[in-house]
Amino acid sequence: MKPLYTLLLSASVALGVATTPVQAQNAIEEWATAKFPAPPPLKPAKIDAKETALLVMDFTKQTCTPERRKRCADQVAGVQKFVAEARAKGAVIIYSVAVPNSVPADILPALTPAAGETVLPPLGPDKFINSDLEWLLKFKGIKTVVAMGTQAQTSVLHTGSTAALKGYKVIVPVDGMSGDEVFPELYTAWHLTTAARISSNVTLTKFEMIGF
């Protein structure tokens, strides 16, 4: 026969195991059970070209070809048409390149900057960091920026968010931002239209809904 204290110890251990709560799952473990929210609505946008800058980010030979990123390549014609229209109306056009050591000549021929248009060097996902972008926007009297680029979850998300937090009105055409797959684009759209202090300054739209 076991001593009484041994029996009590065994009972206590068994009781402890039986009453230990099941550990909650974390976001990664629950990933497959997540449900997509409803898509954010697209809204019309009216811009004053004289107070608007188009940020044409990272449309280069290294990042935006049918072989490298087809979703981006498929958007180039629409971006080109919109840039040409905005340029003709007097909007400021600002480009960037993304890949280290890339240069303005790496921008796709269809989107070649016009003489005098600024091309930001490869600075990372937020084009405000370590650049003259904010100074340039203030110097030009810009109040609204149109954020277009690839990858969406880098250039568009980070630069667009920073612009919104700085008080600019930010217009994001969903047919002018791209990722390797659709999910980064979905996430970018969701984040920009739901994040506190950002969403109030962001209009999610598409090219045909933008008027001058």
CATH code assigned at 187: 3.40.50.850
Are 204 and 189 spatial neighbours (Cβ–Cβ below 8 Å)?
Answer: yes
What mean pLDDT comes out for the span 94-110? 95
d(CA 93, CA 57): 10
Q: What's the domain count of the chain?
A: 1
In a domain, 67, yes or no: yes
What mean pLDDT comes out for the span 178-183? 97
Average pLDDT of the chain is 91
In this predicted structure, the answer to whether residue 150 has a pLDDT above a threshold of 50 is: yes
What mean pLDDT comes out for the span 89-104? 95
SS3 state of residue 15: helix
In this predicted structure, the answer to whether residue 175 has a pLDDT above a threshold of 80 is: yes
Q: Each residue of 23-47: pLDDT tens digit?
A: 678 999 999 999 999 999 999 999 9
In a domain, 24, yes or no: no
In this predicted structure, the answer to whether residue 7 has a pLDDT above a threshold of 60 is: no
What mean pLDDT comes out for the span 93-99? 95
In this predicted structure, the answer to whether residue 9 has a pLDDT above a threshold of 70 is: no
Residues 6+ apart with CB under 8 A from 101: 122
In a domain, 11, yes or no: no
Q: Which of 39-43, 122-126, 201-205 shows the lowest per-residue confidence on average (mean pLDDT)?
A: 122-126
Q: Is 121 exposed, middle or buried (0-12, 13-18, 19+ CB in 10 A)?
A: middle
What mean pLDDT comes out for the span 178-191? 97
In a domain, 49, yes or no: yes
In a domain, 26, yes or no: no
The H or E element that residue 145 is part of is strand 144-150
pLDDT level of residue 22 (50, 70, 90 thresholds): low
The token duo for 156 is 């568009």
Domain of 96 in residue numbering reads as 42-211
Percent of the chain with pLDDT over 70: 89
In a domain, 92, yes or no: yes
In a domain, 12, yes or no: no
Are 175 and 181 spatial neighbours (Cβ–Cβ below 8 Å)?
Answer: no
In a domain, 36, yes or no: no
pLDDT level of residue 10 (50, 70, 90 thresholds): low
| Residue 139 vs residue 21, higher pLDDT | 139
Q: What is the pLDDT of residue 25?
A: 87
